[in-house]
Amino acid sequence: MQQSKYMKWFAVAATVGMLLILLGGALVTKTDSGMGCGRNWPDCNGSLIPKEITKEVFIEFSHRVVTGSVSFLILILSVWSWRKLGHIKEVKLLSFLALFFLVAQALIGAAQVLWGQGDFILALHFGISLISFSSVFLLTLIIFEVDQRFDADKVHMASKLKWHTIGVTLYSYIVVYTGALVRHTNSSLVCPDWPLCNNRAPSIIPSNFYEWVQMGHRIAAAMIFFWILYIAIHAIKHYKDQRVIYWGWIFALIIVSLQVVAGMSVVLSRLNIYLALSHSLFITLLFGLLCYMILLVSRSRID
């Protein structure tokens, strides 16, 4: 049964809203606007509406407004999907995950404002938001009946591809975490060159903690690029007759390639804000796509 156009538009709005939350959070971090509203939450500098607007106040307060507004969208979409599409096995779980992790990321953000958090805890913030985004994204794909359009209910995936899909998706979360740790430890420009930390005086072993964080993320990013390249080549060779797998991994390779280029450009441009946000955007899209491939693994017929 085709879903109501209203439900489809609502799902699109919720997905775009979640994307704005992720990018807004990245913007807060990259512009050091996290304390724009002081040690106040949910109010801003003692007022429900800030009286004095600076750049930091505007960015932080706007992020809070977007998060609060989108939270209502996610709540409505979760309940709506649960009631209308609860017979589809993934819908109830995705609805719960979308809401649960949205609340979790909001509470971590609030805790940071009120009491402060360590860098290793703060680095979890973006990753938790990614899970919520991916859950909403998958719900939207189900609402638009993408599975039926691409015959995803007839997918047959060999064990080799299944394990690679699960492995690279779990590993992508490590890449996300190391990237977030780079930002929260202020390690973004500790290595001025690319691909090595210092191309003029190359050294295999980083000399301090911040170089370890930066180079660790670069190595992790390189590994996921080559892993996805390998999977994409495998899918192109063996899954031409299954469009959703064939094109899914081609798009994954394109996105991870853009991610690598964006990461390089962020360093060489000395943290250009637009390139930095594009870096966050590409990893968000990649993680959402990988989560959809996991959904296909769960639906694949047994060998």
Q: What does 218-250 look like in DSSP terms, one character per residue?
A: HHHHHHHHHHHHHHHHHHHHH-TT-HHHHHHHH
The residue-averaged pLDDT of 81-98 equals: 89
Residues 160-179: pLDDT tens digits?
Answer: 999 999 999 999 999 999 99
37 contacts: CB under 8 Å, gap ≥ 6:
43, 44, 45, 50, 57, 60, 61, 64, 113
Q: Do 195 and 287 lie in a common domain?
A: yes
Mean pLDDT of 251-261: 97
Task: Note if 60 is an active site residue.
Answer: yes
Residue 254 and residue 288 in one domain: yes
110 within some domain: yes
Q: What is the pLDDT of residue 90?
A: 87
Residue 131 confidence (pLDDT) above 50: yes
In this predicted structure, which of 4-8, 137-141, 212-216 has the lowest mean pLDDT?
Answer: 4-8
Q: Residue 56: which domain range? A: 1-144
pLDDT of 303 over the 80 cut: no
Please indicate if the annotation marks 217 as binding a ligand.
yes
Q: What average pLDDT does the structure give for the chain?
A: 89
pLDDT cut 90: percent of the chain above it: 54
130: amino acid identity, one letter = L
Q: Do 127 and 87 fall within a single domain?
A: yes
CA distances, 256 to each of 53, 169, 253 (Å): 38, 12, 5
- Nearest by Cα to 231 from 243, 249, 257: 249
Catalogue the long-range contacts made by 110-115 (C-beta closer than 8 Å, 24 or more residues apart).
110/41, 110/42, 112/34, 113/34, 113/35, 113/37, 113/39, 113/40, 113/41, 114/39, 114/41
**Does residue 172 sit within a domain?**
yes
Annotated binding-site residue? 164:
no
Q: Residue 152: its pLDDT value, please?
A: 64
- Judge if 105 and 131 occupy the same domain: yes
Are 123 and 163 part of one and the same domain? Answer: no
Q: Is residue 295 part of a domain?
A: yes
Burial environment of residue 140 by CB neighbours within 10 A (0 to 12, 13 to 18, 19 or more): buried
pLDDT of residue 149: 63
Question: d(Cα 159, Cα 156) in Å, to the nearest integer?
Answer: 10
Asked whether residue 148 carries a pLDDT value surpassing 70, the answer given is: no
Identify whether 149 is part of a domain.
no
**Does pLDDT of 1 surpass 50?**
no
pTM: 0.90
Q: What is the mean pLDDT of residues 126-145?
A: 90
224, 102: one domain: no
Catalytic residue, chosen from 56, 60, 90, 211, is 60
pLDDT at 243 over 50: yes
- The mean pLDDT value for 186-205 works out to 84
Across residues 226-244, what is the average pLDDT?
A: 94
**What pLDDT was estimated at residue 6?**
83
| 26 and 104 co-located in one domain | yes
Instruction: Identify whether residues 113 and 182 lie together within a single domain.
Output: no
Q: Is the pLDDT of residue 23 over 60?
A: yes
Q: What is the pLDDT of residues 260-275, one digit of tens each?
A: 999 999 999 998 999 9
Segment 96-113 mean pLDDT: 86
Q: Which residues pair with 44 in a beta bridge?
A: 47
